[in-house]
Structure formats: structure tokens, C-alpha cells
Amino acid sequence: PLDIDNIQADILTGMFKKKELFFFLAKLVSDIVPLVTSTSEILSVKTQPITAVNIAFSNTGLLAIGLDTNALGDSDFVAGQFSDAGQIGDDPCLWNPAFTGTKIHGVFLLASDTLVNIHDQLAKIQTALGSSVTEIHRLQAGARPGPEEGHEHFGFMDGISQPAVEGFTTLVLPGQTLAEPGVFLLGERGDPFQESRPSWAVDGSFLVFRQLQQLVPEFNKFLTDHPLGAGELTPEQGSELLGARMVGRWKSGAPIFLAPTADDPVLGADRTRNNDFNFFVESSESPDPATEIKFNQTRCPFSAHIRKTRPRGDLGPSEDTKNFIIRSSIPYGEEVTPAEADSHTTSVDRGLAFVSYQANIDNGFVFLQESWVNNQRFPFGKVDNTIGVDPIIGSLEGGPKSISGLDPFVPCPDLDDCDGQKDPESDVIIQRDFVVSRGGEYFFAPSVTGLEDIAAA
Ligand code: N7H
């Protein structure tokens, strides 16, 4: 089993709190070791702190401490996220200045049930570290209120599908794939650089942080203006269906592959069923066993966010776990105001404080964003090779996006069934991005003992 006393809490489990502050700083020093919350601490009610603290360093931060960051073996980390902006489809002009360049040294993740607790803990940290900490940016995040808890700002249930981790996950749920721990934790089994990681890096993980603004009133207006299934569905149902086809799940979390026509909240809430699908479509019409099982987009578009980011069976019968990430994102910003809803225009910044953990940034976040999400031909090998980008987070430099397969009512949405004769009119055109990257940084979240070594460096 993994040494969960040694692994920071947010990586494998998240921190189980409603509020979370991301505190970005410069000039990080050593007296922080005792403040950090481990996975085992967060897992037991007895040891769970009032405010959990995790910490991660950027390349700049580790260099300032005097460590050889090239030894970590991750060129994306060493270069920093700003230098990847073009590659991952971001417009650097839209980045928050805090993230441009490589000035951030580290980030504290402070999680608790109240803001008062978080601010108390932050004050303690600042007192302990004194002038060695300079604030560069902070992002207050938190679960949305009432029944929206657990849902991101567009309204969809989040945090459903996560990889199972060998040596940690005790119950693998249907639809989960077990990955070796080295996909997420450096120096563990399955890490291709297992032997060459420096000892201080073992059991740490790369944390990719992204401040992803969501234009919620604009997104809702788009859905209202383009309902699917005219004549068959009410406009409300048609708009809800379009949103669900873009994500691949209904707002309740129910996967459209299993509930193609209407939301099914019971399915959405059932952890034994809500992730149990592989995008296989069994065809009863085909007499030829070789073509009996196939993949099409009748029940879920190829471009749907969850299919782009985890194509499951699309890539072959046994799922490759190399590009898996563990997500620990949380919404930031207030609820949409009546004035914003009425004017269909965002005036208050809100979105997702995106966090992913992986042992190799190029295989994890960067690969997903560049090679799958923003690649108009992915998933490959389909009759339709103009699938389009991911309609939720894909971007063509902010320009219009033409996406096929979203509308199940057009003739032949299923190109496999009609010899690739696609009606270009069937594409849905999205004129603007509803998720806008405000930037981010790559961090390294060391283990507890790794942090002691770093502090002693
Ligand atoms: Fe996504 N959304 O609300 O539409 N995401 N995501 N994501 N995402 C998922 O299964 C969303 C983003 C992944 O295993 C769900 O937990 C939004 C980035 C992956 O089936 C929902 C934003 C990246 C999965 C959303 C955003 C990913 C996933 C379904 C930005 C990586 C699991 C709930 C504002 C590059 C796929 C769930 C699987 C699921 C949404 C960002 C990746 C509802 C709004 C940047 C791997």
C-alpha cells in the first residue's frame, strides 16, 4: 500500500471542505513542514484538522531554495505554464498578470468549512513565515450553495469520475480503471522515471493549476438560443439536451450514454452505475459479428467533454492509463446575479479553480488539452474526422468552433451508419468560448518527508 502518512491530502482524496483558498506567493521558506496535512490525517475524523493545508512549489520556488529542478525530469514543469500558453490553446493576453512569466514561487491550498478558519490559519502561516512570504495572488474558491453543492458553475455535477489508484483505492467502482500509482506519484510503480527521480521527489505529484473563467449567462443564452429536437421536445428540454450533449452528462451527473433522452437523477447519484459505460454500442441490426460492436455518437457525441478527456473504449478494449489525471477542482466566484442573468452578460468573475495531479505534466494535463481537447480530429479513426474541439473547454484561439455530432435529431448523426456522408448543416457552431483561461502555473506538491528534505536544502 501507499504511505498515506507521507502523501499530501489533496492529491488522492481532496480535502473534504467547502471552502478553499489558493494563496500564491513568492519567497517561500522552510518553516512550513509541520503545517502540512497528509492523506491519512484527512481520512480520519479524529485527525482531520479544522483547516487543512497543502503546499506546492513552482520551478522558480524550488530553484530559489537551491534545488536542481532538472533532476525532476519534467520539462513542462521547468519551463512553467506561461511558456506553454500557446501550445495549450491559451491567449496569453487574457492571463491574469499574476501568472504571466515565472514569478510565482509556490501556492498554499487552505481548506476549511468557513472563511474565518481559513483566514486564521493564513494569519498563523504569515506570522510564522514573516516577511519571507510575499502575496502575489489569491483565489477564494468554495462549493456552490444549497442544492448546487458539488456542481460547477454551468450547473453540472462534478467530481464523479476519478481513476482508481493501486495501493490506495479499496473499492474499485464499475467504470473506474485501476491505474498504477506512478501515473500520479513520482517514484512509484508505473512511473517511467521511477529509478531516476531524486529522493526528495518520491511520493510527490505535479499539480497543474488553472484559473478557468466561466461565462455562465452567455453559456445559458447559447443553450436557450439553440434548442435541439424542435417539434419533438419543448424548447427547455431541447436546451437542456444540448448542454448535456456538450458535457456528456446531465446536470445531475447521469451519463447521456446511459440516459440519452432525459436526465435521470437517480442514476446520476448512484456511484455504482453513474460511471459504468464504455461508449460501446451493440448493434442488433448487424449480422456480421465483426461489426457487431462499434462506436458511434448516437448516445454520446465524440466531442463531448467527458469523451474527449477520457475516451474509454474508443481507443481500444483495454484502457491505457498513461494519460490519467486526478482532478481536485473547485468553483470560485459568486452565483450569477439577476442583473447578469437578465443581460446575458458576465460582470462578476467566476469559474473553476482547476487542479489536476499527475506524475508527468506532458502525459497528463498538457496531453489532454493539446492532443485530445483541442484536436478537431480526436477521437481518431472515426468515419467523421471533423469532430471538432471539446465544446466546453476546447478553444480555437477564441474563434468560432464547428462541432459535429451534438444534435442527435439531424439525419444521420451517426456517420458510421451512413458511409461518412455528413450533412455540414448538422454541425453546431459555437461562436465564442464559454470557458476562458486566465492562466495558471505548474507546481510540485512534495511528500511530507520530501518537504522536510526541501526545507533542509
Ligand atoms: Fe472537466 N463541466 O462542468 O463541464 N468535467 N471541466 N476538465 N473533466 C468533467 O466525471 C468541466 C477540465 C476532465 O473520467 C465533468 O467528474 C468544466 C479541464 C476529465 O469520464 C464535468 C471545466 C480538463 C474528466 C466537467 C472543466 C478536464 C472531466 C463530469 C472548466 C483537463 C473525467 C463530472 C471550467 C484538461 C472524464 C465528472 C471521465 C469531467 C466540466 C475543465 C478534464 C461536468 C466546466 C481543463 C479527465
Collapsing DSSP to helix, strand or coil, 106 comes out as: strand
Compute, in angstroms, the gap from residue 305 CA to the centroid of ligand 1. 7
pLDDT range class, residue 424, cuts 50, 70, 90: low
For 141-145, 164-168, 416-420, 436-440, which range has the lowest pLDDT when averaged over its residues?
A: 416-420
Q: Please report whether residue 252 resides in a domain.
A: no
Q: Please report whether residue 340 resides in a domain.
A: no
pLDDT range class, residue 456, cuts 50, 70, 90: confident
Mean pLDDT value across residues 21-28: 82
Looking at residue 240, its pLDDT comes to: 98
Which residue has its alpha carbon closest to ligand 1 atom 14?
Answer: 161
Compute, in angstroms, the gap from residue 306 CA to the centroid of ligand 1. 6
Encoded amino acid at 58, one letter: S
Looking at residue 254, its pLDDT comes to: 98
Q: Mean pLDDT of all residues in the chain?
A: 92
Q: Would you say 69 and 457 are in contact if contact means Cβ atoms under 8 Å apart? A: no
Residue-wise pLDDT for 324-373, tens only, equals 999 999 999 999 999 999 999 999 999 999 999 999 999 999 999 999 99
The ipTM of this complex is: 0.99
Q: Would you say 208 and 358 are in contact if contact means Cβ atoms under 8 Å apart? A: yes
Question: Is the shortest distance between the CB of 144 and ligand 1 below 6 Å?
Answer: no
Q: Please report whether residue 131 resides in a domain.
A: yes
Looking at residue 168, its pLDDT comes to: 98
Looking at residue 409, its pLDDT comes to: 87
Please tell me the chain's helix, strand, coil percentages from 3-state DSSP, rounded to the nearest 5.
30, 20, 50
Q: Please report whether residue 77 resides in a domain.
A: yes
Q: Please report whether residue 90 resides in a domain.
A: yes
Looking at residue 320, its pLDDT comes to: 96
Q: Would you say 389 and 376 are in contact if contact means Cβ atoms under 8 Å apart? A: yes
Q: Please report whether residue 74 resides in a domain.
A: yes
Compute, in angstroms, the gap from residue 248 CA to the centroid of ligand 1. 10
Compute, in angstroms, the gap from residue 367 CA to the centroid of ligand 1. 14
Looking at residue 257, its pLDDT comes to: 96
Question: Is the shortest distance between the CB of 310 and ligand 1 below 6 Å?
Answer: yes
Residue-wise pLDDT for 226-284, tens only, equals 999 999 999 999 999 999 999 999 999 999 999 999 999 999 999 999 999 999 877 65
Residue-wise pLDDT for 31-57, tens only, equals 677 889 999 999 998 999 999 999 999
- Residue 176 grid coordinates: 473506474
**Ligand 1, atom nearest to 368 Cα:** 35
Residue 285 pLDDT exceeds 70: no
Q: Please report whether residue 59 resides in a domain.
A: yes
Residues 6+ apart with CB under 8 A from 382: 295, 302, 415, 416
Is 0.90 surpassed by the pTM of this model?
yes
Q: How many domains does the chain contain in total?
A: 1
Compute, in angstroms, the gap from residue 80 CA to the centroid of ligand 1. 23
Residue-wise pLDDT for 80-92, tens only, equals 999 999 999 999 9
Q: Element (H or E) spanning 436, and its range?
A: strand 435-445
Count of alpha carbons within 13 Å of 104, Cβ hemisphere only?
33
Looking at residue 427, its pLDDT comes to: 87
Looking at residue 27, its pLDDT comes to: 64
Looking at residue 34, its pLDDT comes to: 81
| C-alpha span between 449 and 387 (Å, rounded) | 46
Residue 26 is part of which domain span?
A: 9-212+438-456
| C-alpha span between 336 and 216 (Å, rounded) | 7
Residue-wise pLDDT for 77-127, tens only, equals 999 999 999 999 999 999 999 999 999 999 999 999 999 999 999 999 888
Helices (H), 310-364: 338-343
Residue for grid cell 522536510:
452
Residues in the chain: 457
pLDDT range class, residue 415, cuts 50, 70, 90: low
Percent of the chain predicted with pLDDT > 90 = 80
Q: What is the DSSP letter of 11?
A: H
**Ligand 1, atom nearest to 352 Cα:** 34
Q: Which candidate in 90, 158, 264, 416 is catalytic?
A: 158
Q: Please report whether residue 422 resides in a domain.
A: no
Mutate to test the pocket of ligand 1, among 144, 276, 306, 430 (most ligand atoms within 8 A of CB): 306
Question: Is the shortest distance between the CB of 368 and ligand 1 below 6 Å?
Answer: yes
Query: Is 84 known to be catalytic?
Result: no
Residue 300 pLDDT exceeds 90: yes
* Residue 237 CB coordination number (10 Å): 16
| C-alpha span between 147 and 253 (Å, rounded) | 13
Residue 417 pLDDT exceeds 70: no
